Structure formats: C-alpha cells, structure tokens
C-alpha cells in the first residue's frame, strides 16, 4: 500500500521524459563493469529539530554491450595476375562495444552467397589465410602482419584485416569471392587470444553486480549469413584477374662500332664490327611478363663475335656492362647460328637490354 502525500512543488515539469540516449559513440559509452551507485541525502525536521539522513544506496553494474562493424575497406575488387602470391583484400573492423575486446577473424571462400558482389566466382585462392594489420599501415606486410586475431581493440578503435592468398596460374579463371567473419571475444589480456563471447542467458537467476554480455550488433549482410545480435560481423570482397597479356616490346637497332678505316664515322665495310642492340620493355605496369626469351638469328654475311653477348641494364651503347648479368642467362647457339637470351621475368615497367656483335664478312 502506498499513501501519496507528497504535494507537487511550485513549478511544473518542463522536461519531456521521452528522450532516449543521444547518438553516442562507444567511447562515450560507460565502460562495462562500471558500478553506478545512487544515494540521496535527506534533511527533515521532527518537532522543530532538524535532522539529516541518507537513503540506502542502490547500485548496478554496467553490462557489456557488444557491437562491431566490419566493412570491405577498398574501393573495388583487388586486381590480381595469374600466379600472383600473397594477393590480399582489406577489411576494417571497428569495436563499438563499451569495453576493450579481442576479435576472432575467419576467412571463407566457398559457399558465398551470390549477388552480394558483381561477377561470378570461378576460382579459389590457395594458401588462403587471414592476418591483422599489426603495424597499422593499411598494407599487408608478410613479415610484420602475422597476427591471426585482433588483440585488445579499444572502444571506437579500428584495425585493418587482410585476407591473403595465392592466385592459381590457370588461364581460364576470372574472379574469386571471399568472406571475412569477425567474432567478438574476451579482451583484457594483451597478446592472448580471448574466447568468443557468449551472451548471458537472460533468464539467469542472479545476474546482479556481474558484467553480463549483451549482443547489440546488427545484421551486416542481410542475407542470413550474419544475423542480428550474434556478436559477429561479416564483410565480403573479391579478387579479379586484371591482366592476361602485357605490352612487351623489343626494339632492335644496329651500330657500327669500327670498320678498320674510318675512326670517326665507321662505315659498313667488310670486316667492320657491328653491334646489334635489343631493348625489351614491359609497358604494362601492373603485371610481370614471365619466361621472356629473345632469340635472334645472326644475319647472313656476318659472323658472330664469340663472347660478345651481353644482357643487363641498358646503358652506354646498349648494355651498361659487356657481360651477361645475373639473373639473366644466354648463349650463342652454334648449330643454328643464333643467340638465345633468357630474360626470365620482366616486371611491369621493366627494361632489359641485350646486345651482341658481329663482323661483316
């Protein structure tokens, strides 16, 4: 029973009590585990004697409101080449929980629902892994970014996660779709992977003065892979084969070095030494040309100068050095009267010079 005896004070309530919390970021949220206590101080008088007292103290512990966002943090699909290793897609994970959390990360590349991404998934990456951007530079560094879980992410902080894999060298492939799953986990211990959080049972008898886990995350994909309030976030990305050919050109020139008569301006006389120069250039900056071989027959009525084949950086009259520089190999093919220059891989934008000398018969 309650007897209402309080009389309204002068002045009417002017505050509308419908306001919910203002839009807040997690950092402004009260940290999980904080105890909120309330005590009122009271003054009163009995028979004219002033007295004071305090109310009892009511308190509760702020529970953990688990939330996170996971986004595909790049403007378009990652462009890859056949046979490329350590190709990565980038994702950003933001902790919007009112506490520091670990997050578990898992990468998937099969069973991804179509329609989320444009194009059709027709190949899988090999050596498929997921790493956290430990040094925070937004670029996958194989030597540095080796952590496979997110460690101690403070409220409102973000970290990049990379899905990394090797592209097969199969010629017909076009696109690989991948998915990143992020699961909120227990934080609090640095350099230790926490266990995945489990929401506290709502019907638990005594949840007073303990930090309950309440999942407050949304459905990040709307297709049923992620569901609301499961403590997980998902994001999807893809790799597409960008280049199937490169603009590889070889430009050949001839230079008469000496004719035994004219020192200043040698002519193409019999006995003159002529240097042939071939400049190989890969003009496709984004892709390497592999297994590049140049074969050049020694022209009729000329004789190859033994040991004159040089392969390397361009410079001087053709090659900077008069020798075959590593990693290139090459030789004079005596039976077929031709030179063979193995340039191996010419990277995007790379230039390699090949020169050899002949004498005019």
Please report how close the Cβ of residue 24 comes to another protein at its closest, in angstroms.
Answer: 7
Rounded to 10 degrees, what is the CA torsion of 136, 108, 241, 158?
A: -20
Minimal distance in Å, beta carbon 153 to another protein?
A: 17
User: Are 170 and 81 contacting, i.e. CB atoms less than 8 angstroms apart?
Assistant: no
Measured from the CB atom, is 15 or 264 closer to another protein? 15
Burial of residue 108 (number of CB atoms within 10 Å: 0-12, 13-18, 19+) = middle
Q: State the minimum distance, in angstroms, from the CB of residue 223 to another protein.
A: 25
Indicate the residue among 34 and 243 with the shorter CB distance to another protein: 34
Nearest to 156 by CA among 65, 21, 230, 225: 65
Name the token pair of 347. 């990277």
Residue with tokens 């053709």: 318
The C-alpha R_g of the chain, in whole angstroms, comes to: 36
Binding site for another protein (CB under 8 A): 2-9, 11-17, 19-22, 24, 28-30, 34, 36-47, 50-65, 98, 200, 202, 207-208, 212, 214, 216
Task: Identify the helix (H) or strand (E) that includes residue 249.
Answer: strand 248-258
Residue (42 or 321) nearer to another protein, CB: 42
Running DSSP on this structure, what letter comes out for residue 324?
A: B
Q: Give the residue with the Cβ less far from another protein, 63 or 133.
A: 63
Shortest separation between residue 198's beta carbon and another protein, angstroms:
15
Q: Which is nearer to another protein, 13 or 190 (CB)?
A: 13
Q: How many CB atoms lie within 10 A of CB 280?
A: 21
Give the whole-angstrom CA distance, residue 9 versus residue 41.
19
Sorted by sequence, the CB contacts under 8 Å of residue 202 that are 6+ apart come out as none
What minimum distance in Å lies between the beta carbon of 206 and another protein? 8
Least Å from the CB of residue 152 to another protein: 20
Closest by Cα among 315, 312, 303, 314 to 339: 303
Nearer to another protein, 16 or 143 (CB): 16
Residue 5 CB, shortest distance to another protein, in Å, is 5
CB of 63 or CB of 121, closer to another protein: 63
């Amino acid at each position: 029973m309650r007897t209402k005896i309080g009389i309204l004070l002068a002045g009417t309530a002017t505050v509308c009590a419908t306001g919910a919390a203002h839009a807040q970021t997690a950092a402004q949220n009260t940290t999980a585990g904080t105890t909120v206590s309330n005590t009122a101080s009271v003054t009163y008088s009995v028979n004219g004697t002033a007295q004071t007292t305090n109310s009892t103290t009511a308190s509760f512990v702020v529970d953990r409101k688990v939330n996170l966002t996971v986004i595909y943090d790049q403007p378009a699909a990652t462009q890859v080449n056949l046979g490329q290793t350590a190709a990565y897609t980038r994702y950003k994970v933001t902790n919007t929980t009112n506490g520091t959390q670990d997050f578990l990360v898992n990468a998937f590349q099969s069973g991804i629902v179509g329609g989320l991404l444009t194009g059709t998934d027709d190949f899988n990456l090999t050596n498929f892994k997921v790493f956290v951007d430990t040094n925070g530079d937004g670029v996958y560094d194989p030597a540095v970014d080796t952590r496979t879980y997110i460690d101690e992410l403070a409220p409102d902080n973000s970290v990049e996660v990379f899905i990394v894999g090797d592209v097969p060298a199969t010629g017909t492939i076009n696109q690989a779709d991948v998915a990143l799953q992020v699961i909120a986990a227990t934080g609090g211990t640095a350099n230790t992977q926490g266990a995945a959080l489990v929401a506290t049972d709502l019907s638990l008898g005594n949840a007073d003065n303990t930090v309950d886990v309440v999942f407050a995350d949304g459905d990040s994909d709307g297709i049923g892979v992620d569901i609301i309030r499961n403590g997980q976030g998902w994001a999807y990305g893809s790799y597409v084969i960008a280049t199937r050919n490169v603009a590889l050109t070889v430009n050949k020139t001839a230079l008469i070095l000496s004719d035994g008569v004219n020192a200043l301006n040698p002519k193409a006389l019999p006995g003159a030494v002529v240097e042939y120069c071939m400049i190989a250039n890969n003009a496709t900056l984004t892709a390497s040309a592999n297994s590049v071989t140049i074969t050049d027959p020694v022209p009729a009525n000329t004789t190859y100068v033994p040991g004159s084949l040089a392969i390397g950086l361009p410079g001087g009259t053709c090659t900077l050095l008069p020798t075959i520089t590593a990693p290139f190999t090459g030789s004079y093919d005596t039976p077929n009267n031709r030179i063979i220059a193995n340039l191996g891989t010419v990277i995007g934008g790379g230039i390699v010079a090949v020169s050899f000398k002949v004498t005019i018969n």
